[in-house]
Chain A
Amino acid sequence: AQSVTQPDIHITVSEGASLELRCNYSYGATPYLFWYVQSPGQGLQLLLKYFSGDTLVQGIKGFEAEFKRSQSSFNLRKPSVHWSDAAEYFCAVGARGNTPLVFGKGTRLSVIA
């Protein structure tokens, strides 16, 4: 069965510190992987995606993620967190074409001064 696991429900980091959000997936075919961010009461904004090629992908707002097939992981990283990064982050997996995405349960990021 297709599934996405985000082990951390809530993470708190200091502003300026580095960040890594974990994501593990289970998918029968070649996965297409995504990270979305959601601010309270808002929709989802795509941060980055991996389809193929270079396993280190760069996204918006200074985020990057690395696809590791051997570990079935797609962890999201940012070298220096800003207070405006506080939000809910969702990892998702899907296939190419008209197929829906399967989402993890999300990780809530809090940023403290």
Chain B
Amino acid sequence: GAVVSQHPSRVICKSGTSVKIECRSLDFQATTMFWYRQFPKKSLMLMATSNEGSKATYEQGVEKDKFLINHASLTLSTLTVTSAHPEDSSFYICSARDLSSGSTDTQYFGPGTRLTVL
């Protein structure tokens, strides 16, 4: 089946620095990817919808200047956490839907990135 990868799987950074997380669809093209955030022992909350070649759509309450999203190609979306603070520590998961002919229109999730801000 389709695979979505994320890199890095785990990152620790100092407060005030920026961190970039990559999300790739490995064997299908994704015009849209989704970024979710998961707090410990909580559900997934949609942060933003990443659209190839255009601006991302952010959910209410998500700071677009803090969480920069770039969807430069049909297989890559990046999430950059700018000026990270300890409260940004979380598990970030991306997903993409394979809408190609013959696919099962399933949303595939990446393995997640654990961000810890010290």
Q: Which positions in A face B, CB cutoff 8 Å?
A: 32, 34, 36, 41-46, 49, 51, 90, 94, 96-98, 100-106, 108
Taking the closest CB of chain A, its distance from the CB of B58, in whole angstroms, is: 12
Name the B residues within 8 Å of A105 (CB-CB). 42-43
| Residue contact B99 to A103, C-beta cutoff 8 Å | no
Contact B46 A98 (CB under 8 A): no
From A94, A97, A104, give the contact of B43 (CB < 8 A): A104
Identify which of B34, B46, B112 contacts A42 (C-beta below 8 A). B112
Q: What is the CA–CA distance of A102 and B36 in the complex, to the nearest angstrom?
A: 11
CA distance A75 to B97 in the complex (A): 24
Q: Which residue of A lies closest to B32 (CB)?
A: A98
Closest 4 pairs (CB-CB, A-B): A43-B111, A98-B32, A44-B109, A105-B43
| Chain B interfacial residues counted at CB < 8 A | 26
The answer to whether B109 touches A94 (Cβ under 8 A) is no
Are B32 and A36 touching (Cβ within 8 A)?
Answer: no
Cβ-defined contact, B109 with A43, below 8 A: yes
For residues 26 through 44 of chain B, which have their beta carbon under 8 Å from a beta carbon of chain A? 31-32, 34, 36, 41-44
Q: Are A94 and B42 in contact (CB under 8 A)?
A: no
Could you tell me the distance between the alpha carbons of A108 and B41 in the complex, rounded to whole angstroms? 9
Q: Are A90 and B44 in contact (CB under 8 A)?
A: yes
Interface mask (B88-106 → A, CB under 8 Å = 1, otherwise 0): 0001010101010000111
